[in-house]
Each structure stands twice: as C-alpha cells, then as structure tokens.
Amino acid sequence: MQYLVPIKPSKANGLVAEVYSQIKEDFGRIVEPFTLHSPIPKLLAGVWMASRESELVGTVKRETKEAIAASVSQINQCPYCFDAHTIMIRATGKKQIAQKISQKQYERINPLKIRKIVKWTLATLSPTSKELSSPPFEANEAPEIIGTTVFYHYINPLVSIFLGSSPIPIPFFKTQMKKVASQLFKKAVKRPKKPGASLNLLPFTKLPKDLSWTKESPNISGAYARLSGIIDDLRETTVPKQTQHTVIQYIDNWFGRTPKLDTELLREATKKMKSEIRIATTLALLTVFSPYRITKEIIYQFRRYYPYQQQLLGIIAWASFTRARKIGLYLQT
C-alpha cells in the first residue's frame, strides 16, 4: 500500500477491531481495499456496511454481484479490483463466468440473465445507453444490484490510487494464483449471513434523497445512509469549500463520458486558487476522472499543506463517493 499506513489487524481495537472481525467472518480475509480506510475508523465501518449489505447478503446470487464488481472494475480501469473479483467469481464455483469476463467474451456468458446484467453494468458510464433504459432485473433486485454497482464505482478510484495494479504478487503466474486464491474465499462465500448485521457499527442516519434507490431494502438504505453521513462529515472537516464547489460543478455537468482532464484544463480550473486549494482541487478532480494519473509528486505537493493521512484519505473518499452517487442517480429504475 502506498501513501497510507493502515491499522494492522493485530493492532486493531475499538471500532476498527469490530469491523475487522466482521470482514474476516463474512468476506473471508481482511483485505487491503477495506484496511486502507482504517485511518478513519468510521469511514472503514461505513464502507464495510455498504459493501456487505449490497454485495454479500440478499436474494441476488453472489456470482451475479461479483460479476458486477468485476465489470465495473473493468470500465474504471482498475486491474486490482478486476483480478480480485474474477477470483471471487471462481470462489462461488462459476469458473466459466470468470473466464468469459476476463476474455471479454460477454456474448458467451451463461446463464443469460448474468450476461444481460454484465452488459448493463458495462454501460453504467453511459447514462443514455439503451442497456440502462431497460434494466435486466426485477425492481426488488435493484437495491442489491445498484448498490453493488455504486460501491465499486466508489472503491475503484481509491484502490487505483493506494493499492496499484494487482493483488497477485507474481503476475507471470496469475492464472494459477487465481485458482489458489479463490480457494481462500470459498468457505466464507458459502457461509450464511444475516442481512443488516453490520448496521449496529454506526448510529442511524437519515437517508439522503439522491440515495432513494436503496429504499426497498432497509439494510442497504441503512448502510448507505450511514456511509453518506460519514462522507458528509469528511466534506465539512476536510475538503476546502472552493474545492467542493469546483468538483461538484464538474460532476453536475458530467454524463458518464470522461472529459479530457489534461494538464492545461486542470491549470485553467484551478488558476485563481491559492496554492493549498489548488492542489486539493487537483487531487479531487483527478480522483473523479483520472485516478491513475495521481503521482507521487501530486501526493507530495498535497502533503506540504495537508500533512495528515486522514486528510488525504478524506478528500479522495469524498471525491470518489460524490462521483459514485451521481452514477447511482441515473441507474434508478
């Protein structure tokens, strides 16, 4: 992991220890996409809730939701998450689905419903596409499917920034290691899980209107309400007002297609700002549109003004979740 020092499971206590215990029990392992949030314990709890209640429990089959996670990761150019969730598809016993997604052979995915959902997922950065106009799932399935989709649109940028290219240490043996890794998660995938069991980690928070797509599932709405509350707190305490205004303006005018956020455009967007506001805004805009372009030099410049890792994590989490919420708005059925 780069730029952050997460809390090790052996050193965890309080809320972090409680969350880690649930992750190990329900996910199978305490993995880095979760632990990177541990410098802000309440954020860790909110992120775990949104993931667990959308992806790990419910009536939609786990292999379907893992296929969604892999497909979102593919369109967001997050190879780490793509590898991780094709491994998880294998852990459900659906090796052929993992292979077809890896090979981009979408027309050969079976069963048909998963094929249609994968195609729908691959269109989630194109709000006017015909795939999104006719969702291939029932209304009662929407909170789980949209919830999983929105979660991975949130987590992919953070993983790209903090974790790099793959959870597999020896890429040359990737195929063989995926087979081995899937066995580590198989038992947890099959273990029964109670919906809503994570909600006691944080107090009740009112659901924002833009997350109304969660309302038909009390546990998913509860999880996303709590996560959005934590993100809103981070916005107020961590994100400069001018940065908030600029990023929200860009996202409000964004309809899925990534703009050409080149150096000149960034300079133009931030030229009238003070140095500390300029670097915060640059970091947030890159998180939203081009997280893979965030370099050590950008992080170094940011830390000249904002030395604490909670500030770095907070502004990146806010920017990414703001983007994910916008995507969720146009995925509502």
- pLDDT for the residue 268: 82
Helices (H), 37-137: 41-51, 62-75, 79-91, 95-102, 112-122, 130-133
pLDDT digits 0-9 by tens, 222-276: 999 999 999 999 999 999 999 999 999 988 887 665 555 666 778 888 888 999 9
User: How far is residue 237's CA from residue 81's CA, in Å, rounded to a whole number?
Assistant: 29
Please tell me the pTM assigned to this model: 0.94
Helices (H), 163-274: 174-190, 218-238, 241-252, 263-270
pLDDT digits 0-9 by tens, 307-324: 999 999 999 999 999 999
- pLDDT for the residue 236: 96
139, 208, 259 from 290: Cα distances, Å: 33, 27, 9
Over range 55-73, report the average pLDDT: 97
Model confidence band, residue 181 (pLDDT cutoffs 50, 70, 90): confident
- pLDDT for the residue 314: 98
Q: Which residues contact 245 (CB under 8 A, 6 or more apart)?
A: none
Q: Where are the domains of the chain?
A: 240-331
- Is residue 277 over pLDDT 90? yes
- pLDDT for the residue 164: 80
Q: Nearest 10 degrees: CA dihedral of 117, 119, 124, 128?
A: -110
pLDDT digits 0-9 by tens, 43-63: 999 999 999 999 999 999 999
Closest CA to 205 of 221, 226, 236: 226
- pLDDT for the residue 185: 85
**How much is the CA Rg of the chain, to the nearest whole Å?**
19
User: How far is residue 260's CA from residue 133's CA, in Å, rounded to a whole number?
Assistant: 26
Over range 300-309, report the average pLDDT: 97
Q: Are 40 and 91 in contact (CB under 8 A)?
A: no
Q: Are 199 and 209 in contact (CB under 8 A)?
A: no
Amino acid found at 51: S
185 vs 196: which has the higher pLDDT: 196
